[in-house]
């Protein structure tokens, strides 16, 4: 695949699976790599279509951020994966390059607890501001949670007495 060959020149750890090109990037190189992928006229990844995380408890690194890139000019896609350790769940913010990353990073922080350094306003975006925990981590408890409302706390119906 031509795209994979081109990307592999910059990022040696590039695989092709089901016609999808995925590259693994170190956390400290992320901003620089994204910038160069965006500037290169042959690649021109000018759109960050999605940014999310996956959780693999027990593995190292535990969290993998994935950045889904798209080039409007060339109509090709690339996925960057960044491993983030459990003890230090941080990553550099890419909002300066892609403003759309603003809310995506807030959502990833909200649900996985990965903090993005340099983000202009890293708050929770979907859950209430006073929420405790990060519910899409696989170590979080499944099932309904208590209704915490005006100081009261009511358990879900199957745990009520």
Partner 1 sequence: MPVERLEGFQAGKTADEAEEDVRRGILLTSLDRAVGWARKQSMWPVTFGLACCAIEMMATGAARYDLSRWGMELFRASPRQADLMIVAGRVSQKMGPVLRQIYDQMPEPKWVISMGVCASAGGMFTNYAIVQGVDTIVPVDVYVPGCPPRPEMLMFGILTLQEKVRSQGRFR
Binding region for partner 1 (CB under 8 A): 126-128, 131, 135, 140, 142-145, 147, 149-150, 152, 154-158
Among residues 5 and 147, whose Cβ is nearest to partner 1?
147
Distance CA 25, CA 134 (A): 25
Q: Quote the least distance from Cβ 160 to partner 1, whole Å.
A: 9
Phi, psi of 145 (to 5 degrees): -105, 165
Q: How many residues does the chain have?
A: 161
Shortest distance, CB of residue 36 to partner 1, whole angstroms?
Answer: 39
Strand segments (E) across 13-145: 14-17, 20-25, 47-55, 63-70, 77-84, 90-92, 115-117
Nearer to partner 1, 90 or 159 (CB): 159
CB of 110 to partner 1, least distance (A): 11
Decide whether 120 or 144 has the Cβ nearer to partner 1.
144
Cα–Cα distance, 63 to 118 (Å, whole number): 19
Residue number, 16 or 145, with CB nearest to partner 1: 145
Least separation in angstroms between residue 157's CB and partner 1 is: 5
Tokens of 125: 């975006």
């Amino acid at each position: 695949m031509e795209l994979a060959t081109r990307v592999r020149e910059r990022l040696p750890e590039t695989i092709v699976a089901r016609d999808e090109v995925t590259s693994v990037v170190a956390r400290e190189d992320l901003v620089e790599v994204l910038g160069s992928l965006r500037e290169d006229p042959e690649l021109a990844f000018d759109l960050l279509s999605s940014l999310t995380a996956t959780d693999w408890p027990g593995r190292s690194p535990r969290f993998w951020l994935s950045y889904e890139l798209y080039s409007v000019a060339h109509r090709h896609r690339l996925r960057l994966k960044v491993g983030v350790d459990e003890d230090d769940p941080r990553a550099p913010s890419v909002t300066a390059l892609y403003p759309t990353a603003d809310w995506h990073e807030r959502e990833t922080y909200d649900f996985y607890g990965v903090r993005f350094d340099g983000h202009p306003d890293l708050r929770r975006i979907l859950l209430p501001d006073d929420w405790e925990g990060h519910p899409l981590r696989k170590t979080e408890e499944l099932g309904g949670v208590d209704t915490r409302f005006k100081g009261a706390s009511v358990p879900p119906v199957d745990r009520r007495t």
